[in-house]
Amino acid sequence: MSIQTVNPATGEVVEKFDPTSSAELERIMSGAHAASAERRVVPPAERAKPMREAARVLRARKTEFARTMAAEMGKPIVQGEAEAEKCAWTCEYYAEHAEAMLRVDPRETDALRSYVRYDPLGVVLAIMPWNFPFWQVFRFTAPALMAGNAAILKHASNVSRCALQIEEVLRQAGFPPALCRTVLLEAAAVSPLIADRRIAAVTLTGSDVVGAKVGAQAGHQLKKTVLELGGSDPFIVLGDADLPFTAPGAADARLVNSGQSCIAAKRFIVVQAVADRFLDLFKKELGTRRMGDPLARETQVGPQARHELRDALHRQVEESKKRGARVLLGGEIPTGPGAFYPPTLLAGVDKGMPAFDEETFGPVAAVIRAKDGRDAVH
């Protein structure tokens, strides 16, 4: 059964991929394990050379990569170019600073000699999400490779071309071909990878449900993990806020990546004294953001990454309405093709509503009133 990517702006199939076969997976794992043994003795200054070249490749091909992001998960092209630039900066940062970070650190103890030494772990498995398909990978890959590790990338299936392009960047930059490889696998195939003796550590960015499973299995195998999971970040507006300044920032904080960001502001907790004025300004700001074709440079809000994610977001809005929330803007699925959902503003949000109790992973802003600053923090 093939893996396919679907353009969320049109609903059309972009590309089909054959999953990585068991024989190819074994070759990739064996190659990465051997490459990690060789790479660990390469000095950081030598590791930095292809890392700097990776930054150059990312910048040179940023529009190409942004178009892939737009096609596979709907990211507006200007934001995709900025993402590629951020990846390039990250490569340069670790190329410059890794040697100092990895230097042996002497410590004073009652022993004859004490120090902290930083050694490579080996092969690190990265299970990465679709919402920042390049950045999430490079923020892991750059430090992991500079530390002397090898990397196996299991990316989200709906951004498979992004995953292959990332492997291509690293190969073009001059990294050993076996050192950082992509595997195209469904989620069910991840568990045997974690258990493989050649995997030394696991990192995942995703939901708390999946994170709990990956963390439990890695822990059972005594393998190190780094997990970055979801959240419902608060944006607190106090009585002395400069509201004309605050409202545009609030809109930007909610609509970053079309609302599909782990660290986007999601719950806007506003003290009663300024709530009405903030709502008016916030509604106007959200209403100015342009939703449309992610390949158009004026687009600020693209489609949601998949239709089922858009539909789940709408159910959260509808259920919140049933429980008393008021829709001041948006809240309706547009007609026409694509997984679009407009910037949406909910007022009167309180406990017991999905918009209060759950993460809304899309362009839905929930405004919650608080008596004062202390109540807002509570």
Q: Catalytic site residues? A: 228, 262
Is 225 strand, coil or helix?
A: strand
Contacts of residue 335, defined as CB under 8 A and 6 or more positions apart, other chains included, come to none
Distance of CA 330 to the CA centre of its chain: 25
Contacts of residue 123, defined as CB under 8 A and 6 or more positions apart, other chains included, come to 29, 32, 33, 36, 149, 150, 151, 152, 198, 199, 200
> 17 is written with which tokens?
């991929």
Distance of CA 175 to the CA centre of its chain: 24
- Give CA torsion, residues 351, 353, 357, 361, to 10 deg: -150
- Euclidean distance between CA atoms 61 and 70, whole angstroms: 14
115 class by beta-carbon count within 10 Å (0-12 exposed, 13-18 middle, 19+ buried)? exposed
- Euclidean distance between CA atoms 226 and 304, whole angstroms: 27
Inter-axis angle of helices 135-146 and 44-60, nearest 10: 160
Amino acid in the structure at residue 191? S
> 88 is written with which tokens?
């390039």
- Tell me the chain's radius of gyration from C-alpha atoms: 23
C-beta of residue 328 within 8 angstroms of C-beta of residue 283: yes
Is 150 strand, coil or helix?
A: strand
**DSSP line for 18-82:** PPPPHHHHHHHHHHHHHHHHHHTTS-HHHHHHHHHHHHHHHHHTHHHHHHHHHHHH---HHHHHH
C-beta of residue 73 within 8 angstroms of C-beta of residue 160: no
> 232 is written with which tokens?
């419902």
